């Protein structure tokens, strides 16, 4: 028995958190055990690393290594055991975020990320990745209203443009698992599309 790994991605401000409860409900309606989790985070140690990642100054390499350290713990403690017992794991971000933010955004070589990916997750890949795609002018406008922005949310439009481009490149490279959602629409339109996507699983 093996479960499924479903990941949600998008630039900050793309609105994915609005849709997580609906996606979780749609999955539960399939009568499967659903584990809701997030990266960086998802374990006690991972949540501590998240605090550091979101608030402490560090180099791009350190940021990358800490993201993957948190991910290793997450896979070992949460994701793999859940998949083994047949549960479906819904993770708010996973490795595509490292390719988008650390490679696309910060310029860390993709080769470095690929070796970390192999080390940390072996053959494990998401069964489905939903990418909430939004023009950066709109996501940046949304972030401008946010209280107390973290280290990533404080970045400029060019940084988010590179992230959006890197996400779209990942989606084009792995079309079998990616579904790109136009997040520049009403919540109800987006939810209709999510229902359709989840019904295919
Ligand atoms: P969140 O805002 O979706 O909770 O994610 C926290 C931040 O961490 C977000 O700005 C994206 C960033 N991040 C990376 O830079 N690399 C990663 O691998 C992950 C999982 C998140």
State in Å: Cα 107 to ligand 1 middle. Answer: 15
Spatial distance between the Cα atoms of 160 and 16, rounded to a whole number of angstroms: 16
Q: What is the pLDDT along the chain (201 residues), one digit of tens a residue?
A: 689 999 999 999 888 999 999 999 999 999 999 999 999 999 999 999 999 999 999 999 999 999 999 999 999 999 999 999 999 999 999 999 999 999 999 999 999 999 999 999 999 999 999 999 999 999 988 888 777 889 999 999 999 999 999 999 999 999 999 999 999 999 999 999 999 999 999
Query: Which residue's CA lies nearest to atom 15 of ligand 1?
Result: 101
Residue-range definition of the domain harbouring residue 62:
4-199
Query: Which residue's CA lies nearest to atom 8 of ligand 1?
Result: 40
Query: Which residue's CA lies nearest to atom 6 of ligand 1?
Result: 40
Best residue among 9, 10, 12, 71 to mutate for probing ligand 1's pocket (most ligand atoms within 8 Å of CB) is 12
> What's the DSSP call for residue 186?
-
Give Cα separations from 105 to 127, 166, 184, 190 (angstroms). 25, 8, 22, 26
pLDDT of 143 reads 85
Say if ligand 1 is within 6 A of residue 170 CB.
no
Say if ligand 1 is within 6 A of residue 117 CB.
no
pLDDT of 150 reads 92
Say if ligand 1 is within 6 A of residue 98 CB.
yes
Return the ligand 1 atom nearest residue 93 CA.
20
pLDDT of 75 reads 98
Spatial distance between the Cα atoms of 31 and 34, rounded to a whole number of angstroms: 9
pLDDT of 15 reads 87
If one counts the domains in the chain, the total is: 1
Strand, helix or coil for residue 102: helix
Any idea which residue has 């994701």 for tokens? 79
pLDDT of 141 reads 87
| HEC readout, 45-89 | HHHHHHHHHHHCCCCHHHHHHHHHHHHHHHHHHHHHHHHHCCCEE
pLDDT of 146 reads 77
pLDDT of 142 reads 85
Residue 116 belongs to domain with CATH number: 3.40.50.300
Spatial distance between the Cα atoms of 176 and 141, rounded to a whole number of angstroms: 32
State in Å: Cα 25 to ligand 1 middle. Answer: 23
């Amino acid at each position: 028995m093996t479960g499924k790994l479903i990941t949600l991605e998008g630039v900050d401000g793309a609105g994915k958190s609005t849709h997580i409860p609906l996606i979780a409900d749609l999955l539960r309606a399939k009568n499967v055990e659903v584990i809701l989790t997030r990266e960086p985070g998802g374990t006690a140690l991972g949540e501590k690393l998240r605090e550091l990642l979101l608030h402490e100054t560090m180099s791009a390499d350190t940021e990358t290594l800490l993201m993957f350290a948190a991910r290793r713990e997450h896979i070992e403690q949460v994701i793999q055991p859940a998949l083994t017992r047949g549960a479906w794991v819904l993770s708010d971000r996973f490795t595509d975020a490292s390719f988008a933010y650390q490679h696309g955004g910060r310029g860390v070589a993709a080769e470095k990320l690929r070796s970390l990916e192999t080390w940390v997750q072996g053959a494990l890949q998401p069964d489905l990745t939903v990418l909430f795609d939004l023009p950066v002018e709109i996501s940046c406008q949304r972030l401008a209203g946010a209280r107390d922005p973290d280290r990533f949310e404080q970045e400029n439009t060019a940084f988010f443009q590179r992230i959006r481009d890197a996400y779209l490149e990942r989606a084009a490279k792995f079309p079998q698992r990616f579904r790109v959602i136009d997040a520049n629409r009403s919540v109800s339109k987006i939810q209709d599309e999510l229902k359709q996507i989840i019904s295919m699983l």
